Amino acid sequence: MTRHRIALVPGDGIGAEVLPPAQALLDAVGRRHGMKFADDSFDWSCERYLVEGAMMPDDGLDRIRHHDAVLWGAVGWPGVPDHVSLWGLLIPIRRTFQQYVDLRPVTVLAGVPNSLRSTGAGGVDLVVVRENVEGEYSETGGRLGRGTADELAVQEAVFTPHGRHPRRPPTR
């Protein structure tokens, strides 16, 4: 039996609500295909930031380094600016582990209630692909004359063949 170790980051709000069904789905897939998933949960979130002043602990990246994957819920909380969660949690994890793409499969499953009343199983079948370290999240660009009346910001969107082909494993 193949075993996979998953780092769970429920995050905030609905994030904590969506992970249990996602875990149940992974367990069902595992039973069907001879895989076992071991989950380790991490309380990294905007709520944590408000209490401790950091989205994750200083050794957070080392804590998840040996996991096979990270399963995200959602992060964001009233009173915590988006750039705090982005630069304090999402970007460090994405860049450190070269998570070059964020794949979000969407489908309606038989027997699972959904909010699309007229759509049955198979009526929705798509994959949303978002950039993680490419596109607008690349480190290309910068600011000139920071804090002056002549301040200028430059941002480039970077797309590579590797980022366009998410099923191809990265070369190292």
Instruction: Please choose, from the candidates 18, 131, 102, 99, the residue with its C-alpha nearest in 3D space to the C-alpha of residue 26.
Output: 18
Q: What is the pTM of this model?
A: 0.73
The 10s digit of each residue's pLDDT in 46-92 is 999 999 999 999 999 999 999 999 998 889 999 999 999 989 998 89
Is 12 buried (19+), middle (13-18) or exposed (0-12) by CB count in 10 A?
A: buried
- What share of the chain in percent tops pLDDT 90? 44
Within a 13 Å sphere around the CA of 85, how many CA atoms are in the beta-carbon half? 20
Nearest 10 degrees: Cα torsion 132, 85, 44, 91: 30
Listed by start position, the domains of the chain span 2-97
Q: Are 122 and 138 in contact (CB under 8 A)?
A: no
